[in-house]
């Protein structure tokens, strides 16, 4: 499998192409989207929507009640060993011998106690589609593809919050979209928004469906017809401008397709959020997304040059595509993070870069988390952070360890033993305290090697020991498969979620410790019988602070209302974050899940400013997903 070649064989001249294969390797899709006739002709671009990785009928490729591809999941095989199925990921088809023990030890879970999801969607449970006939007639006249099919609608009624998945497994949403429409270009969107205004309907834009902020949930009290505006068929790269290194792209394109297609011309955006297989460009803009390699390429707000958005008031865009302008507050910043409350982003001009020549993974072991954070702080101070640098705490390190596949040869296992001996016995690291930083370098080969040395030198000053490329690479691979683990947990009474924040450097340690401790304490108070799994990683570094990512999961056997308990604990954790000087969100957004803290976060006046924009742009609340405000 292509992905196996990643990094380790650095230095070959075709590394750029290999990088491409990596992405297409672990992100390989079926690419069978139906082409619908379209009047849209983009300037100089190919006609009609490109064949994206994610089909229009999402259910053909993706799980209806869990994360990711149908064929990829963790299972316990006949021997009772954990295994990851499918061929999409590097871990695919591999046996994970220690994973079962880890689950049992960490959660007190047992393979004998299983819950089962409903096998399939029960169409009879689905709320009926209520759409008035006049609108349907108008819609048909536009020739825009639409569907009132129950599956299509349920698929677009949720993101990937725990409670949403839980509802899919065991119940049904009270309110879902009444109709799904698939515009294929900007003009289609304009027509749809016009129709919605005319008939006073509610539009909820849908991109990749990877929201973890309840942003896609339909407000229960919404009486109007809800249109789910699926942007997935607006997925073309309209043009590439090599002189200015920009590309104009339709907003529905998903991350993996964008990188694949740009790669064919030798470019990339470098924007790689963990959800990049499924999440869309428009979604990134709407949530103020952040990518793993932001240290080189920047976050979405650094990448975006121009945005075109269709609102009930009309189209909003700038008159030029320039690197910076001083024309009052940047209107892009009303759009970025608006979470679908103002309109639909249709086209985005984004910065592109030549594909990097060389990529190298790395990892460093630190004696403890404190030293690790100190090292990351120093790296940030010297502004020499590699494309990505992440520090996982001990619990997450052990988690990663449990996901190690069976080693093929005695030699490898001997080497592993030797490494372990060296670190724990010879260097005196306590395996229950140590933590690991994973690194990804990118760029010219020369510079990468130079850069690598600089970072490792700093690490040494903080007691760090280089721990090999393989560990680093595995760390990043896990980012993509970790989302699949929750579905396995759900089968065994384990529920969990991740959440994130950003925090000034001097508070990182206190925040990590306090939030983890708060989770443990809340679990105890709420009657959770086994100590929860509560772990964090410092996942981005900035000049003034860092982004911290938490995973939190627990065994809910014996609890009658696990989702409620879960939500209370998550809420307590968020309150703890805020009390520790952390932000409401670094990149997941607010949605409906974190709305209650908005006033506290941006002040009354701040909230009023946002409200007045909403009132001007969308006075009739056509974009009525009720996010943010």
- The secondary structure element, H or E, covering residue 354 is strand 353-354
Cα separation, 567 vs 569, in Å, equals 5
Pick the closest to residue 531 from 114, 161, 110, 109 (CA basis): 109
Residue 422 a catalytic site member: no
* Site for another protein contains 510 (CB under 8 A): yes
Q: What is the CB neighbour count within 10 angstroms for residue 214?
A: 21
Nearer to another protein, 81 or 601 (CB): 601
* DSSP state for residue 9 in the 8-state scheme: T
Cα separation, 99 vs 95, in Å, equals 9
| 253's tokens | 């394109």
Cα separation, 275 vs 447, in Å, equals 29
Q: What angle do CA 150, 151, 152 make, to 5 degrees?
A: 90
State yes or no: 211 annotated in a binding site. yes
Q: Within the chain, how many helices (H) and strands (E) appear?
A: 19, 21
Q: Among 18, 163, 293, 518, which residue interacts with another protein (rule: CB under 8 A)?
A: 518
How near is the Cβ of 287 to another protein at its closest, in Å? 24
How near is the Cβ of 580 to another protein at its closest, in Å? 4
Q: Among 138, 514, 568, 621, which residue interacts with another protein (rule: CB under 8 A)?
A: 514
* Site for another protein contains 536 (CB under 8 A): no
Nearer to another protein, 446 or 510 (CB): 510
* Site for another protein contains 513 (CB under 8 A): yes
Q: Among 517, 544, 561, 608, which residue interacts with another protein (rule: CB under 8 A)?
A: 517
Q: Among 507, 526, 571, 595, which residue interacts with another protein (rule: CB under 8 A)?
A: 507
| 114's tokens | 């299983």
Cα separation, 545 vs 528, in Å, equals 33
Cα separation, 511 vs 569, in Å, equals 16
Evaluate whether 96 touches 105 at the Cβ level (below 8 Å).
no
Evaluate whether 70 touches 61 at the Cβ level (below 8 Å).
yes
Name residues contacting another protein, limited to 564-593 (CB under 8 A): 578-581
Q: What angle do CA 86, 91, 97 make, to 5 degrees?
A: 110
State yes or no: 85 annotated in a binding site. no
Evaluate whether 68 touches 278 at the Cβ level (below 8 Å).
yes
* Site for another protein contains 430 (CB under 8 A): no
State yes or no: 288 annotated in a binding site. yes
Nearer to another protein, 125 or 506 (CB): 506
* DSSP state for residue 422 in the 8-state scheme: I
Nearer to another protein, 419 or 507 (CB): 507
Cα separation, 150 vs 70, in Å, equals 19
Nearer to another protein, 342 or 572 (CB): 572
User: How far, in whole angstroms, is CA 354 from its chain's centroid?
Assistant: 24
* Site for another protein contains 88 (CB under 8 A): no
Cα separation, 497 vs 486, in Å, equals 8
State yes or no: 348 annotated in a binding site. no
Question: Looking at 242-250, 303-311, 355-363, 514-522, which segment touches another protein (CB under 8 A)?
Answer: 514-522
Question: Looking at 77-85, 121-129, 451-459, 509-517, which segment touches another protein (CB under 8 A)?
Answer: 509-517
Cα separation, 524 vs 531, in Å, equals 7
* Rg, C-alpha atoms of the chain: 24
How near is the Cβ of 608 to another protein at its closest, in Å? 18
State yes or no: 376 annotated in a binding site. no
* Site for another protein contains 600 (CB under 8 A): yes
Nearer to another protein, 36 or 514 (CB): 514
State yes or no: 339 annotated in a binding site. yes
Evaluate whether 138 touches 199 at the Cβ level (below 8 Å).
yes
Question: Looking at 45-53, 101-109, 190-198, 508-516, which segment touches another protein (CB under 8 A)?
Answer: 508-516
* Site for another protein contains 526 (CB under 8 A): no
How near is the Cβ of 134 to another protein at its closest, in Å? 51
Question: Looking at 53-61, 67-75, 383-391, 513-521, which segment touches another protein (CB under 8 A)?
Answer: 513-521
The DSSP result for 181-194, as a single string, is EE--SHHHHHHHHH
How near is the Cβ of 525 to another protein at its closest, in Å? 10
* DSSP state for residue 626 in the 8-state scheme: -
Evaluate whether 610 touches 191 at the Cβ level (below 8 Å).
no
Q: Among 104, 416, 430, 506, which residue interacts with another protein (rule: CB under 8 A)?
A: 506
Count the residues of the shown chain that bind another protein, applying the rule CB under 8 A: 13
State yes or no: 80 annotated in a binding site. no
How near is the Cβ of 579 to another protein at its closest, in Å? 5
The residue annotated as part of the active site, out of 549, 551, 556, 566, is: 549
The DSSP result for 544-562, as a single string, is SEEEEEEEEEEE-TT-S-H
* Site for another protein contains 394 (CB under 8 A): no
Question: Looking at 83-91, 352-360, 502-510, 620-628, which segment touches another protein (CB under 8 A)?
Answer: 502-510
| Active-site annotation, residues | 549
Which parts are annotated binding residues for substrate? 486
Which parts are annotated binding residues? 205-211, 287-290, 339-345, 486
Contacting positions for another protein (CB under 8 A) = 506-507, 510-511, 513-514, 517-518, 578-581, 600
């Amino acid at each position: 499998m292509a992905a196996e070649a990643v990094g380790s064989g650095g230095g070959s001249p075709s590394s750029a192409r290999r990088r491409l294969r990596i992405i297409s390797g672990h992100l390989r899709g079926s690419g069978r989207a139906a082409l619908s006739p379209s009047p849209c002709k983009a300037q100089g671009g190919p006609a009609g929507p490109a064949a994206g990785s994610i089909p229009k009928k999402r259910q053909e490729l993706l799980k209806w009640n869990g994360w990711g591809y149908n064929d990829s999941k963790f299972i316990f095989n006949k021997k009772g060993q954990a295994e990851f199925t499918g061929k999409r990921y590097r871990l695919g088809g591999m046996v994970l011998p220690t994973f079962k023990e880890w689950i049992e030890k960490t959660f007190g879970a047992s393979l004998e106690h299983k819950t089962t999801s409903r096998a399939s969607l029960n169409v009879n449970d689905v709320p009926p589609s209520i759409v008035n006939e006049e609108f349907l007639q108008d819609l048909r006249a536009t020739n825009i593809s639409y569907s009132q099919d129950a599956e299509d609608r349920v698929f677009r009624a949720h993101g990937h919050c725990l409670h949403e998945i839980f509802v899919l497994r065991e119940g049904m949403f009270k309110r879902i979209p009444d109709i799904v429409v698939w515009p294929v270009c900007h003009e289609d969107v304009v027509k749809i928004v016009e129709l919605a205004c005319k008939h006073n309907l509610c539009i909820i834009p849908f991109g990749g469906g990877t929201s973890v902020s309840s942003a896609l949930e339909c407000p229960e009290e919404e009486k109007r017809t809800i249109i789910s505006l699926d942007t997935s068929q607006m997925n073309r790269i309209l043009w590439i401008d090599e002189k200015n290194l920009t590309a104009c792209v339709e907003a529905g394109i998903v991350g993996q397709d964008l990188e694949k297609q740009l790669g064919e011309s030798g470019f990339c955006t470098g924007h790689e959020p963990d959800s990049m297989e499924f999440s869309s460009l428009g979604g990134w803009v709407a949530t103020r997304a952040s990518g793993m390699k932001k240290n080189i390429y920047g976050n979405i707000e650094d990448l975006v040059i121009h945005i075109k958005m269709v609102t009930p008031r009309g189209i909003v865009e700038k008159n030029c595509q320039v690197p910076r302008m001083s024309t009052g507050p940047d209107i892009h910043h009303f759009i970025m993070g608006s979470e679908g409350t103002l309109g639909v982003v249709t086209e985005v001009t984004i910065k592109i870069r030549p594909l990097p020549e060389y990529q190298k993974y790395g990892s460093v072991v630190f004696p403890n988390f404190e030293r690790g954070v100190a090292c990351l702080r120093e790296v940030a101070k010297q502004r020499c952070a590699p494309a990505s640098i992440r520090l996982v705490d001990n619990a997450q390190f052990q988690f990663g360890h449990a996901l190690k596949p069976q080693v093929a040869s005695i030699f490898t296992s001997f080497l592993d033993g030797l490494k372990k001996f060296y670190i724990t016995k010879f260097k005196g690291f306590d395996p229950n305290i140590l933590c690991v930083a994973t690194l990804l370098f990118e760029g010219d080969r020369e510079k990468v090697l130079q850069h690598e040395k600089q970072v490792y030198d700093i690490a040494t000053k903080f007691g760090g020991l280089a721990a090999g490329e393989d560990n680093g690479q595995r760390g990043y691979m896990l980012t993509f498969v970790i989302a699949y683990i929750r579905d396995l947990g759900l089968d065994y009474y384990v529920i969990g979620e991740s959440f994130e924040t950003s925090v000034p450097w001097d508070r990182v340690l206190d925040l990590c410790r306090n939030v983890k401790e708060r989770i443990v304490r809340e679990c105890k108070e709420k009657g959770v019988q086994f100590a929860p799994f509560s772990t964090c990683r410092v996942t981005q570094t900035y000049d003034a602070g860092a982004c911290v990512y938490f995973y939190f999961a627990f065994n809910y056997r014996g609890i009658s209302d696990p989702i409620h308990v879960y939500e209370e604990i998550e809420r307590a954790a968020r309150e703890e974050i805020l009390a520790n000087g952390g932000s409401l969100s670094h990149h997941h957004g607010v949605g409906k899940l974190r709305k209650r803290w908005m006033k506290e976060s941006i002040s009354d006046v701040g909230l009023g400013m946002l409200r007045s924009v909403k009132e001007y742009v969308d006075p009739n609340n056509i974009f009525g997903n009720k996010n943010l405000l």
